[in-house]
Chain A
Amino acid sequence: MGALLRQCLVVFRLGLSGLKVRSAPAFVIVAGMACMVGVLLSMLSVARGFLRIYEIAGDPARAIVLSAGARYESGSSISLDDLKMILGAPRIRKTPLDALQMSAELSVQIPVDGFAGGALNARGIGPEGASLRPGFRIVAGRYFRPGVRELIVGVGAERAFHLSVGSHIIMPDGEWPIVGSFSAAGGLVESELLADAATLMASSRNGTFNSVLVDLQSSDSFDMFDRWLASNPGLRVKAERQPDYYRRTSAEDADFFNVLAYTVGTIMAIGALFGAAKILYAMVNMRIREIATLRAIGFAASAVAVSVLLEGMLLSLAGGALGAGLAWLAFDGRLSSYMNSVFHLAVTPQMVALGLAWAATLAIIGGAIPALRAGRLQVAAALRPE
């Protein structure tokens, strides 16, 4: 076994030193894999970035309460009476000053100028609403005053829709000024406008809240909280863990991006596979005398075959790394928007590993036949002068 390994390495090193001569075909594999991995990662970065804004915002110790049967916040309606009852539920976290960590919220879609079909979400939040958004902080201007018709804008929405502190937004009852902008660790609230819930409720003709966001004492408290709500005869509401709600509502869009990415990636991979196979085949043919000589002097067929595979693997991984690097440089962190979510594209280490794995797999499949050819060579025939 050890001898075989040593032989492999010798042949491999021999192959590497010969790469300088065969640099053109080697480059073709590198370029092909770079294109494939680059395209795959750049397309996957959309879904990843999109999902991330939900992942940052979601916490298993938080729950969203919607009215029974509603699938989305927009279709849910929770009255003030319902809210009073929900306040009595067990396991809601309190601050040291005894303030209940929960926020009754409602959303109003604001059409953006000349943008039929797309809209900004203006969300009315309760007094504790900001503390339920991880990493929330005002970055410019100030927070809105309760009871006043004022808005604050998330940095994502600010950039994507060209808003700023001082801009005015046409709300259902007139123009409201934006008095500040905020960030929230990249969570989904950065795509929204925030206002005081009671003020927003008075201005739109909505008499009810859409949802109640609740911070529970711990992740395990959810079951008790949920059961209490379900068994309360006066309440027709349903609680859902925040991450679950986000997963459910973002799944369709995220799936769309991912399916598109993998479909395109697969077709690119097929092209890269045939290309790599062709090049490796040609490279073996170029080295036919060299390989035959090695076989003649006693190197094992398997050692030669494996070293061909290793060479293919090395070139593919180099190409994959190049493609991943380029995708990262060009796309990671880039601002993008989809409907009314604003997010940053993300090329993560896991995605890079995936890309490299694809490249390596293609190298093995594509290199199989050339490797076999190198191993099964008819030594005498190959050594004969042409």
Chain B
Amino acid sequence: MKYLPLIWSALWRKPAEATLVLLAVTAAFTLFGLMVGMDTTVHQVVASKRMDRIVVNARQVPLTIALTDKIAKMDGVAAAGAWTGFSGYYREPQNFVFVDAVHESSRNARPELPLTSPQWDALFANPTGVFVSRTHARMLGLKKGDHLPVSVDPGTLADNSRSLNFEVLGIVDDEPDRQGMMILGNFNYVDRERSPDRKQVSFWVAVKDPAKGAQIAASIDHYFANSGSPTTSITFRDAEQNMSNSGVPINAMTWGVGGAGLFMILFLVGNAIAQSVRDRTPEFAVLKTLGFPEWRITILVLAEALVPCITGAVVGMALASRVAAVPRSFLTGTFARMPAPTLTPTVQGMAIGTAVLLAILSALVPVLRLRRLSVPAALARC
């Protein structure tokens, strides 16, 4: 540790240049943090979805509520619940609203939904009632007791009116699903008000053994394949995986971009260290003359490389965290659609590890050159 002053003076020999290197490394790691963080978020969202829940949709003709019992009696199924989706907008077209109108049977199929028992009761007692998740309520400016008229396209409703009215019965916790955009409504009401040729029913199925989720989904489809109403069933997790595969190829993009940023600074740091060592060759020659062992000289050079790399990684990740912490509600339109980066300890560890690797690679060639240093020749240059 008595060599710290030596390392420090080496680093700050050229303060302007050292600062610029540090800033460049920080920028690269900020990008790395944001990119890898986004990828982690997407993976976490997929992993958070359940394997013991299946969604069943119609493949050709709309399904009917009568199928609930048939599905509930199938092998491995714990419960089946009906629901239908109803979408429109609230006030302005950009305030998209999607209501999950649930049937009583869904109470058993999805007990994990954030409704308390009295809330479930209230939902089925009040046909026009809805429960809105906290984030969605904040975005739309709704609170308990408000009216929620949902504007729809022509032909959606049986009476051809352009909006369907709901009452907000309460605000509930966000579900990890759907980034907090959830509205639960009453199936019977929506089904009744809907235009006859737009009726549709879907099902949620709770499965006893998560490991059998995909298998049971396939067997549901197989069962209904030759009936009048074939189905397409998939576990929540597989559905999420497919959804993320069909969008922007986040995986390839994030690692590609993060990698490109690091590649960019690899040369910069490598060049900076090489230059610094070259300039100080006489100094190293003196150290060798004084009897410094090879390994100690190697450590000195490595330390010189580690300081900017690790500092840049730490500050960069901190900056990425700050960016990630900007509340979703402040972000408008496009930014709100991007997955927020999650900087887990694994990601942070990855950054530090990469910084160390970067430092080692940068110090490699200069260290090797120093080993082959001809001391008299170097001293002659003094």
**Which residues of A are in contact with B by a Cβ distance under 8 Å?**
24-25, 27-28, 31-32, 35-36, 38-39, 42-43, 46, 67-71, 75-77, 111, 114-118, 170-174, 205-208, 236, 252, 255-257, 259-260, 264, 267-268, 270-275, 277-279, 281-282, 285, 336-339, 369
Contacts and interface: CB of A to CB of B under 8 A. Distances in A.
A279 B271 contact: yes
B60 A278 contact: no
Interface string B263-289: 111011001101100000000000000
Which of B263, B264, B338 is the most central at the interface, judged by chain A CB atoms within 10 Å of its CB?
A: B264
Contact of A271 (B230, B256, B265, B334): B265
A281 B16 contact: yes
Which of B162, B253, B257, B335 is the most central at the interface, judged by chain A CB atoms within 10 Å of its CB?
A: B257
Given A32-B264, A39-B257, A271-B24, A116 B275 contact: no
A278 B17 contact: yes
Contacts of A271: 24-25, 27-28, 31, 261, 264-265
Contacts, number: 162
A36 B27 CA distance: 12
A275 B24 contact: yes
B345 interface: no
Interface stretch (B69-77, B239-247, B291-299): B239-247
26 contacts: A25-B271, A25-B275, A31-B263, A39-B257, A69-B162, A75-B152, A75-B153, A77-B154, A111-B59, A111-B232, A114-B234, A114-B238, A114-B242, A116-B242, A208-B155, A256-B334, A259-B334, A260-B248, A268-B27, A268-B260, A274-B21, A275-B20, A277-B20, A278-B268, A337-B246, A338-B248
Nearest to A67: B154
B27 A206 contact: no
Contacts of B31: 264, 267-268, 271
Interface residues of B, number: 57
B271 A118 contact: no
Given A70-B154, A285-B14, A116 B27 contact: no
Interface of B: 14, 16-17, 20-21, 23-25, 27-28, 30-31, 34-35, 55, 57, 59-61, 93, 152-156, 162, 197, 230, 232, 234, 238-239, 242-243, 246-249, 253, 256-257, 260-261, 263-265, 267-268, 271-272, 274-275, 333-335, 337-338
Given A68-B154, A111-B59, A206 B261 contact: no
A43 B253 contact: yes
A116 B260 CA distance: 33
A116 B239 contact: yes
A173 B264 contact: no
Given A170-B60, A278-B21, A278-B272, A69 B154 contact: yes
Given A24-B274, A67-B155, 14 more contacts: A32-B265, A32-B268, A69-B154, A70-B153, A71-B153, A75-B154, A111-B232, A116-B57, A117-B246, A170-B59, A172-B61, A268-B31, A273-B24, A275-B268
Interface of A is mostly: helix
A118 B242 contact: yes
Nearest to B25: A271
B333 A252 contact: yes
Nearest to B29: A271
Contacts of B14: 282, 285
B93 A71 contact: yes
Contacts of B246: 115, 117-118, 337-339
A39 B260 contact: yes
Q: Which 5 residue pairs across A and B have the least CB separation, nearest first?
A: A75-B153, A271-B27, A278-B20, A274-B24, A35-B264
A118 B260 contact: no
Contacts of B156: 75
A27 B266 CA distance: 12
Contact of B234 (A46, A116, A208, A278): A116
B153 A76 contact: yes
A264 to B, nearest CB: 6
A278 B248 contact: no
B257 A28 contact: no
A28 B271 contact: yes
Contacts of A206: 197
Given A69-B153, A267-B30, A260 B234 contact: no
A15 to B, nearest CB: 18
Nearest to A33: B264
B34 A267 contact: yes
A372 to B, nearest CB: 12
Contact of A275 (B35, B93, B265): B265
A43 B257 contact: yes
Contact of B60 (A76, A172, A272): A172
Which of A46, A264, A275, A339 is the most central at the interface, judged by chain B CB atoms within 10 Å of its CB?
A: A275
Contacts of B162: 69
B111 to A, nearest CB: 22
Contacts of A275: 20-21, 24, 264-265, 268
